[in-house]
Amino acid sequence: MIKHAAIFKFTEAMPDQDELIEALSTLHPAGEPQALELSRSGWSPLWRNGEQAYKVTPQIIAISMLTHERLLPAAVVRKALAEKVEQIEADEGRPVGRKEKTRLKDEIIIDLTPKAFITAKRTDAYIDYQRQLLVVDSSSQKRAEDLASLLRETLGSLKCRPLVGDLGYDLASRMRRWIQGDETSPFQVDDEATFVQPVERGATVKVKGLELAGNHELEELVANDTVEKLRLTLADQISFTLTMDARLNRIVGTDALYEQAAEVNCDDAMARFTADLILMADAIGKVLEKVIGKEE
């Protein structure tokens, strides 16, 4: 099941489903980097012999980006550069200046890149046409942005932006009201939170295993701090950590959700994937509707 959700909101007409599926099946296929490339991303089937885009339901299309990266540790480059500089100084009896070191470093990187070990990292996502969302299963906003950029490049145009820019209110302030015991909160406040001082390089306070809702002592301690992260639960759906920039991390299904998933008979991995994604996408959608919605 999905573990994280970096969310983008479509701001204009969403891509046509048939055109999306065709584009992902023919453009930017996943593959290893060329000799001098450090990384390359492309679309990959969600499972062996599958399609690059899978229509889970009439409203949900699942996609997957595969990124190959060459591992070229900075320590290896520094060691090679130091050896090269030492050799030049010994052979020619002169110091090596900054500009020459920069040139030598570039030459070393060019020489070592084709020999570097290659790793592969998969990033899954789905497009929710009903709610007009792109949901990326990644705790890294950069990786999520990379997937959105690849999708934009594949389609030629993609008008979407991170969900936080579409809220119209300060999410950190709303999370504080939930901690203060706001009875209109749609979520159960759990026992984890992170607070940061609203100054450059301000201190961070992490709270875990402590009852948060209505905790007056804690409120006095962090009265001037910003709520950066808060652990929440939507009844019978999922528990998750909501961040001040409207991302969901460490998503875990509740017992009720797992029981619901167990009731679905699945004959193979594809059917299991489909059933799990439908349940999780619905749960995440319900959470986001409450996050996006206006307070009562």
| 138-185 residue pLDDT tens | 999 999 999 999 999 999 989 999 999 888 889 999 999 899 888 788
The 3-state DSSP class for residue 66 equals strand
More confident residue, 214 or 235: 235
- For 266, other C-beta atoms within 10 Å of its C-beta total 14
**Residues 29, 32, 38, 40, Cα dihedral to 10°:** 10
- For 85, other C-beta atoms within 10 Å of its C-beta total 16
Tokens 């290659």 sit on residue: 118
The 3-state DSSP class for residue 101 equals helix
User: What residue segments make up the domains of the chain, in order of their start?
Assistant: 6-72+115-165, 74-114, 168-292
DSSP conformation letters of 6-40 = EEEEE-SPPPPHHHHHHHHHHSSB-----TT-SEE
Whether residue 266 is predicted with pLDDT greater than 70 in this model: the reply is: yes
More confident residue, 219 or 119: 119
What CA–CA distance (Å, rounded) separates 13 from 101? 51
pLDDT category, 288, cuts 50, 70, 90? very high
What CA–CA distance (Å, rounded) separates 147 from 24? 12
CA angle 162, 164, 165 (to 5 degrees): 75
| Cβ neighbours of residue 88 closer than 8 Å, sequence gap 6 or more | 94, 96
State mean pLDDT over 83-102.
92
The 3-state DSSP class for residue 174 equals helix
**Percent of residues in the chain assigned helix, strand, coil, to nearest 5:** 40, 30, 35
What CA–CA distance (Å, rounded) separates 166 from 245? 11
What CA–CA distance (Å, rounded) separates 210 from 218? 9
Q: pLDDT at position 267, please?
A: 80
Structure tokens at 104: 């030598």
Q: For 183-209, write each residue's pLDDT tens digit.
A: 788 999 999 999 998 777 778 889 999
Q: pLDDT at position 197, please?
A: 85
Q: pLDDT at position 130, please?
A: 94
User: pTM score, two decimals?
Assistant: 0.86
Of 253, 183, 243, 237, nearest in space to 213 by CA = 183
pLDDT category, 28, cuts 50, 70, 90? very high
